[in-house]
Amino acid sequence: MKRLAVFFVFLLLGLVLFFWALKNAGLAGIAAILSRFSFSQGLAIFCLTLLSFAVENWKWQLVLKSQGVRLSFLKLVPIHCASFGVNYLAPMLLAGGEVSRGYFLNSKYNVPWSKGISSVVISRVLSWTVNLIVIFFGLYLFFSRFSFFPKNIMLFLGGGLAVFTAVIVIFHFYSFRSSKNEKSFLRFLPLISRRREQGGKVSARAFETEKEVFAFFKAGNVFFWQAVAVSLAKTAVIILRAWILIGFLGQWLGPLTVVPLVGFSLLTALIPIPANLGSQEAVQTVVFNVLGLGAGTGAVFAIIIRAAELALAFIGVLFVLKLGV
């Protein structure tokens, strides 16, 4: 009941933001822009969304392959799509989609829980490492366009990007170190450590999962570098999708102008609102307006991206029903 209440609270917040964005962008302007958007253009955006999903699925397959789990690309598609549907439509379920991936891998293909869950964690870490770099870089590019922002703010943003990069480097350096000494963050959590000592199965699985995660992040692991390259490829597809969509809406921009828009889009994904409803429109309406692209264009940009992702999410729901709730 509590999770259901949280779902409706965030859904209500999303609706408030959505109608605020529509009001500020103007319904007439939004309708006029949408009327010029063709079905073939929408199909192209959906195909690019499918391509980004396929690249992400490929990365997950690589991670599993590094763990000795060899499953075909097509066998992973239903599980991955079902997970995407859960996460997209109900992001407040505390990684429910990720857990479902581990469950379906275990139930259908007898993949150990530690390998199934760790593969999803690794995939997420790689994705959000790249995503956060895009967010920070996009914010820096956005604010650097305006001379009225004080230099100390620009230095703060640049410093934040540098610090974040340093944290990523330190994390991977720590991961790349020799595994002769046991590495663990969970051992600093007394409750989990104590339960493992008492023979708790869940705690034992948590440590096994963590061990699998650290085992992947090795400089000599060729799958790690392949997965990093694929993560970058997915980000490139997302930026390409945004660039093409803005062009369809009548604004052909340079790549460095598109990056901030993608950065803000990724930033809103951190807010656990179902389907990013309202958060995307509210943010992009403001950002597009500030950049002189028009608030209506920003609202339509967010609506079309969501429409493509919603179509994929609903396909995922069908897979959830087929695989078993």
What are the tens digits of pLDDT across the range 5-19? 777 787 888 888 889
Structure confidence at residue 311 (pLDDT): 94
Structure confidence at residue 198 (pLDDT): 45
C-alpha distance from residue 267 to each of 36, 47, 58, 209, 263 (Å): 28, 23, 24, 28, 6
Angle at 170 between CA 229 and CA 236, to 5 degrees: 25
In this prediction, residues 91-112 reach a mean pLDDT of 77
DSSP 8-state assignment for residue 110:
-
Q: Three-state SS for 36?
A: coil
Q: Are 123 and 63 in contact (CB under 8 A)?
A: yes
Which one has a higher pLDDT value, 147 or 115? 115
Q: How far apart are CA 26 and CA 295, in angstroms?
A: 8
Q: How many CB atoms lie within 10 A of CB 322?
A: 9
In this prediction, residues 176-192 reach a mean pLDDT of 52
Q: How far apart are CA 246 and CA 267, in angstroms?
A: 19
pLDDT tier at 292, thresholds 50, 70, 90: confident
pLDDT at 41 over 90: yes
pLDDT tens across 146-168, in order? 655 555 555 655 565 566 666 66
Within 8 A by CB and 6+ apart from 121, the residues are 98, 209, 213
DSSP per-residue letters across 277-303: TTHHHHHHHHHHHHTTS-HHHHHHHHH
User: What are the two backbone dihedrals, phi and then psi, of residue 161, each rounded to the nearest 5 degrees?
Assistant: -65, -40
* Span of 86-95, 133-142, 178-187, 263-272 with lowest mean pLDDT: 178-187
pLDDT tier at 268, thresholds 50, 70, 90: confident
Q: Are 258 and 246 in contact (CB under 8 A)?
A: yes
Instruction: Give the CB-side neighbour count of residue 40, counting CA atoms within 13 A.
Output: 0
How large a percentage of the chain has pLDDT more than 70? 78
pLDDT tier at 185, thresholds 50, 70, 90: low
Largest CA-CA distance found in the chain, in angstroms, rounded: 65
Q: How far apart are CA 49 and CA 29, in angstroms?
A: 26
Structure confidence at residue 228 (pLDDT): 92
* Span of 39-43, 77-81, 149-153 with lowest mean pLDDT: 149-153
Which one has a higher pLDDT value, 253 or 151? 253
In this prediction, residues 252-257 reach a mean pLDDT of 82
DSSP 8-state assignment for residue 254:
-
